[in-house]
Every structure is written in structure tokens, then in C-alpha cells.
């Protein structure tokens, strides 16, 4: 790697553990793309948003992911992916090429420009935790290091813009690792831990809720150790699903208000203390606010702050809280009464029986193993997947910002991030029509996902609210599409036994992407969505 601005950027990414960069080329970024391709694995996607979603998935699983695009038409198409990364705490690094500094003299109307040359950066400022334009070669290495440090520390997206003539300019060495980020104020941390410890000692029915912060910060082992010591059952949130393994004793499964399984809701809502670790109380995490949680019984430790009932401790994050409680010498307790999700039951398809949503998800759940990463698209694919017990780190879902189109490109990022776990995608037919074309990126990347399309002719989550032709999507020939784009093999099934046979065949063949479309009635929904609509109906009566 040469001592240029582009070389320093690649060096910094490598130093931070990035091995794959997801890209769509364009003239302002071609020089940098060529440099990345020499020193890292450059994965060319079909669309910039797909590159952003793939890099986002990689970031969630490895701690940092990178998307590389050109200026204007490329960078602005990544705003949606950046917004989702911000909302869902993903350390996504967006690198955009840009017109050269020399080219900008005289304020010319260069292609891909909109308003001023700083417009794209200012837009990205609204959805990123940090941004920098690398227009000074002497300052660029420090700017790069700072951006990557912010992404890791805050678990938020960052943006770097590289003018194409500066990319080739000589640059000084990268700064060495900086001092560790300052921890919380010692007195505030001690006060917070004493207050939390007092509540734990006094609780008779405590329950722990593990959220997305546990997954992002790699705290699963510590959280399980703490829960076992304190005798607390654990639930997860929808966004934090698989932050701890759900197929083991002591883990109840997903709590999501009225959308979740009733026994999990009774466990969580019946607790006299909820120790919420890294959990975000979003509408989807709480079943559209059907959760019944008393703030007076809640200790909520986020990634960057802590709330104990109605007391706030800024800068006291979940990592410090978990570490502090583990070292607090709290008395051990036997495990209290709880519920365990356990492995999914075996599924026995009924020959010739028309396929329904509940049976489709039951069949999938019975096939989930720790050799798979389940990636669920927003919508009923996500709700249906909420009930599937998966191992630690075995689930990805856009369960807050909930952008449709995430799952298929995310499978490529996930497959490369964890080559030992094959991506299993659950996606509705409407969302598949947005980014399903990214399946054609998978063979060249060496990823062979299994894609299950829930084919119900439209947007099933919207039909119970207000239905109309606007919720319909045209019928696609899914097997024909897969063949046409050279992305493996596909089949459409409308009976239980045909669907299960096709899924088993797809899972057995890891040599190429496989698509299994399960055709179900347009008005059919998952058990989780049925529970949610029922809870919402009861709330408004």
C-alpha cells in the first residue's frame, strides 16, 4: 500500500479488520476502487443501496463495514442505508469519490453535482455521526482515523468524501492508536452501580432483557454470566434478537408486547425489576407500544447512557454497567421461574395441504441450525421470524427503521462476514421486487444464500390496516427470474410438502444460491402479526 491518501484509507480499513468493501463504480471513484481492489476484496453490487445494505450487514457482524460509491448519483442513493444504520446502531463506513479539488475551481457545472459541491456531505451529516472531506492530504490520515474511531465507539455510520485528485496525493503515515475513549465519570458510575445493585437485591421477580447493544458490543457472554449468577431469565427484543442464544435454557425468546408469545409477555410484564441491557424501546420492539412496562420498575442501560427508573446517568453505558455488576459481589440466586423458547419442534408436512403462513414459518423454524444466519426482511417476514429460536448472532433484521429491500443484499454481506454460516433469507414478495436483483451479485462474491420468498401478492402487513390495490404487487416468475440473472436455482411451491421438500433440497446444496417461493393466500399472516393486530384491536375498543 502506497503512502497516498487512498492508500492510507485502505490501510486504515485493514487495520480495523475490514476485509470486504461493497461498491458500485463511477468515474469519480474509479481510482480509489482500483486501489481497494488491489489490497482488499472489492464486491461489486448491482445498486448503491444494495452496497449499503450489504456493508451494513457486515458491520453488524464484524464491527465495521464499508460501502464505496461515486459522487451524487451514488452517494445520495446511500442516504437510506445510512439512515437505517444510524437508527439501528450499525458502524457503517460510507466512502464516496468526488470531483477533484482542482476541477472545482470556477464553480463549474460538473456532472452528478446538485446545488453546491458540499451538498452531499451536508445531507450525510443528517444521518451520520461524523463526516469529513479529505481535501487536504496532510490532514487526511488523522481524519480517516477519527472517523473510524467514531463509528466503532458510537456504533453509528460515518461518511468520508475523497476528491479524486487528492486520492493520489502523498500523505503522511496514519496516526497510531489513540488513547482509549474516556470512560464514565468514576463517581457517577459508582453511584449508578450502587443504585442498580440495591434494586437487584430487593427484587423478587427480576427479568433481564437483552437488546441490540449487547450484540453490537459483543457482551453476550458477560450478560449470560450475569443472568445465571443473579438467577434472572432473559428475554430479547426484536431488534436485539439473537443477542443471546434463544435455543438454550434460561432464554425465553423475543419480548415485543402484544406481538410476542403470551408466556414471554407474562414473564416480562410480571417482573418487579426489568434490567434492560442495550435495549431500545422503539415501537416495533414494544409491539407498537402494546408493551405494559412500568418505568418505575426499569433499569435501562443503553450503549451511551443509563436510566435507573427516572434517574439519568449520561455517559454510563451498558458495557460499564455489565462489567460493574459482575464485579460487584452481588449474592448468587437460584434460577427463578421462567419460560424457555427451546428448539423449534419438528415439522411434519401434510401432503397436498395448501401452504399457509403459520405452517411456512413452522417449517423454516424446524430447519434452523447454528450453521445458518437468518436474515428477515421488514414486514411479516420479520414478524414471523420473531418466533424462530436461533443461536447467538444467528439473526439479522431491520427491526426499527425497517427499510424494505434490506434482506437480500444483506445476505451477501453476512455470508462474507461469516463464511461458516450460510445466509437464510426470509423476504416478502413486495420487498423482493425492490432488491432481489442483488441475488445476481452472490455467485461472484462466493455466497450461496437460501432465499425464502413469502409470496402473498403484496404487502401483508398493510392489508389489515387499510387495503386497496395499492397493496398488490405483480406476480413474478421467481424461478424464471433466478435463471435469467444467473443466480442459481428457484422453485415456487403452494403445498406444505412441496415447500418443505424444496427447502430441504435448497439447504442441502451449498454450491449456489437457491430460491424457494412459498405461495400463500393474500390475506394470510403470521401468528405474530395476528397477535399484534389482536392486541391493537383490544387497545382501541
Could you report the per-residue pLDDT of 160-189, keeping only the tens digit for each?
999 999 999 999 999 988 777 778 889 999
332 lies in some domain: no
Full strand arrangement of the beta sheet holding 450-455: 395-397, 372-376, 422-428, 450-455, 514-519, 489-493
- Specify whether 151 is located in the same domain as 234: no
Instruction: Kindly give, in sequence order, each residue whose CB lies less than 8 Å from that of residue 319, ignoring residues fewer than 6 positions away.
Output: 217, 219
Same domain, 243 and 389: no
Residues 6+ apart with CB under 8 A from 540: none
Shared-domain flag, residues 148 and 286: no
Is residue 176 situated within a structural domain? Answer: no
pLDDT for the residue 230: 94
pLDDT for position 536: 66
CATH number at residue 458: 3.40.50.970
pLDDT score at 3 = 93
Query: The cell 403462513 sits on which residue?
Result: 357
Give the residues across from 434 on adjacent strands. Answer: none
The Cα 132–Cα 147 span in angstroms is: 8
Domain count, the chain: 3
| CATH (domain of 216) | 3.40.50.1220
Same structural domain for residues 209 and 158? no
- Helix 407-417 to helix 48-62 angle (10° resolution) is 40
Are residues 376 and 282 both part of a single domain?
no
Task: Tell me the average pLDDT of the chain.
Answer: 94
What domain range includes position 206? 186-326
The rounded distance, in Å, linking the Cα atoms of 42 and 37 is 5
501 and 401 in a single domain? The answer is yes
Q: Please tell me the predicted confidence (pLDDT) of residue 224.
A: 95
Residue with cell 497516498: 4
pLDDT, position 462: 87
Q: Are 56 and 34 in contact (CB under 8 A)?
A: no
Residues 255 and 376 in one domain: no
Q: Give the Cα separation of 152 and 154 in Å (integer).
A: 6
| Burial degree of 449 (CB within 10 A; 0-12, 13-18, 19+) | buried
> ∠ CA(291), CA(294), CA(299), 5° rounding?
105
Read off the C-alpha cell for 67: 460501502
Where the chain has pLDDT below 70, the residues are 1-2, 536-541
User: Could you please report the per-residue DSSP string of 367-434?
Assistant: H--TTEEEEE-TTHHHHHHTTS---TT-EEE--SS--TT-HHHHHHHHHHH-TTSEEEEEEEHHHHHH
pLDDT at 538 (0 to 100): 67
Q: What pLDDT does residue 539 have?
A: 60
Length of the chain: 541
- Residue 498 falls inside a structural domain: yes
Q: Concatenate the DSSP letters of all residues of 505-517 into one string.
A: HHHH--SS-EEEE
Residue 294 placed within a domain: yes
Which residue from 235, 190, 183 is spatially nearest to 327, judged by alpha carbons? 190
Question: In terms of DSSP H, where are the helices of 164-233?
Answer: 186-202, 212-216, 220-230
**292, 385: one domain:** no
Instruction: Give the per-residue pLDDT at 281.
Output: 87
* pLDDT for residue 181: 76
Q: Is residue 97 part of a domain?
A: yes
Residue whose cell numbers read 443528517: 126
Model pTM above 0.85: yes
Pairing of strands 251-254, 273-277: unpaired
Amino acid at each position: 500500500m502506497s503512502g497516498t491518501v487512498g492508500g492510507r484509507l485502505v490501510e486504515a480499513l485493514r487495520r480495523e479488520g475490514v476485509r470486504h468493501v461493497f461498491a458500485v463504480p463511477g468515474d469519480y471513484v474509479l481510482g480509489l476502487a482500483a486501489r481497494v481492489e488491489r489490497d482488499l476484496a472489492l464486491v461489486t453490487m448491482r445498486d448503491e443501496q444494495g452496497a449499503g445494505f450489504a456493508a451494513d450487514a457486515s458491520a453488524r457482524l464484524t464491527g465495521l463495514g464499508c460501502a464505496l460509491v461515486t459522487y451524487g448519483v451514488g452517494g445520495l442513493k446511500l442516504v437510506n442505508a445510512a439512515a437505517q444504520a444510524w437508527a439501528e446502531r450499525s458502524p457503517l463506513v460510507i466512502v464516496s469519490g468526488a470531483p477533484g479539488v482542482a476541477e472545482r475551481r470556477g464553480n463549474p457545472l460538473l456532472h452528478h453535482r446538485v446545488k453546491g459541491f458540499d451538498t452531499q456531505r451536508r445531507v450525510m451529516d443528517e444521518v451520520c455521526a461524523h463526516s469529513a472531506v479529505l481535501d487536504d492530504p496532510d490532514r487526511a490520515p488523522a481524519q480517516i482515523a477519527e472517523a473510524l474511531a467514531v463509528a466503532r465507539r458510537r456504533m453509528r455510520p460515518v461518511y468520508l468524501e475523497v476528491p479524486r485528485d487528492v486520492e493520489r496525493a502523498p500523505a503522511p503515515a496514519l496516526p497510531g492508536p489513540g488513547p482509549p475513549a474516556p470512560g464514565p465519570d468514576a463517581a457517577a458510575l459508582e453511584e449508578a452501580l450502587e443504585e442498580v445493585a440495591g434494586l437487584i437485591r430487593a427484587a423478587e421477580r427480576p427479568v433481564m432483557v437483552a437488546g441490540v447493544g449487547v450484540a453490537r458490543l459483543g457482551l453476550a457472554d458477560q450478560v449470560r454470566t450475569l443472568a445465571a449468577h443473579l438467577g434472572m431469565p432473559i428475554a430479547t427484543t426484536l431488534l436485539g434478537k439473537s443477542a443471546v442464544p434463544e435455543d438454550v435454557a434460561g432464554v425465553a425468546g423475543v419480548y415485543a408486547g402484544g406481538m410476542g408469545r403470551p408466556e414471554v409477555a407474562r414473564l416480562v410484564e410480571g417482573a418487579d425489576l426489568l434490567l434492560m441491557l442495550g435495549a431500545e424501546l422503539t415501537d416495533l420492539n414494544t409491539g407498537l407500544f402494546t408493551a405494559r412496562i412500568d418505568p418505575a420498575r426499569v433499569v435501562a442501560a443503553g450503549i451511551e447512557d443509563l436510566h435507573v427508573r427516572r434517574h439519568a446517568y449520561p455517559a454510563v453505558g451498558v458495557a460499564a454497567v455489565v462489567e460493574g455488576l459482575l464485579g460487584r459481589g452481588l449474592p448468587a440466586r437460584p434460577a427463578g421461574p421462567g419460560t424457555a423458547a427451546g428448539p423449534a419442534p419438528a415439522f411434519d408436512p401434510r401432503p397436498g395441504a395448501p401452504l399457509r403462513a403459520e405452517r411456512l414459518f413452522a417449517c423454516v423454524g424446524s430447519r434452523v441450525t447454528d450453521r445458518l444466519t437468518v436474515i428477515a426482511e421488514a414486514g411479516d417476514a420479520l414478524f414471523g421470524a420473531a418466533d424462530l429460536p436461533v443461536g447467538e448472532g444467528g439473526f439479522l433484521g431491520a427491526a426499527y427503521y425497517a427499510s424494505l429491500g434490506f434482506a437480500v443484499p444483506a445476505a451477501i454481506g453476512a455470508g462474507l462476514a461469516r463464511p461458516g454460516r450460510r445466509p437464510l433469507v426470509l423476504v416478502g414478495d413486495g420487498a423482493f421486487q425492490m432488491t432481489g436483483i442483488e441475488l445476481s451479485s452472490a455467485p461472484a462474491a462466493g455466497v450461496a444464500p437460501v432465499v425464502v420468498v413469502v409470496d402473498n401478492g403484496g404487502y401483508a402487513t398493510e392489508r389489515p390496516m387499510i387495503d386497496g390495490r395499492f397493496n398488490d404487487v405483480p406476480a413474478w416468475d421467481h424461478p424464471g427470474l433466478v435463471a435469467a440473472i444467473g443466480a442459481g436455482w428457484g422453485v415456487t411451491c403452494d403445498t406444505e410438502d412441496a415447500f418443505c421438500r424444496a427447502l430441504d433440497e435448497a439447504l442441502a446444496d451449498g454450491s449456489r444460491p437457491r430460491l424457494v417461493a412459498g405461495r400463500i393466500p393474500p390475506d394470510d399472516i403470521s401468528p405474530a402479526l395476528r397477535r399484534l393486530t389482536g392486541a391493537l384491536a383490544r387497545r382501541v375498543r
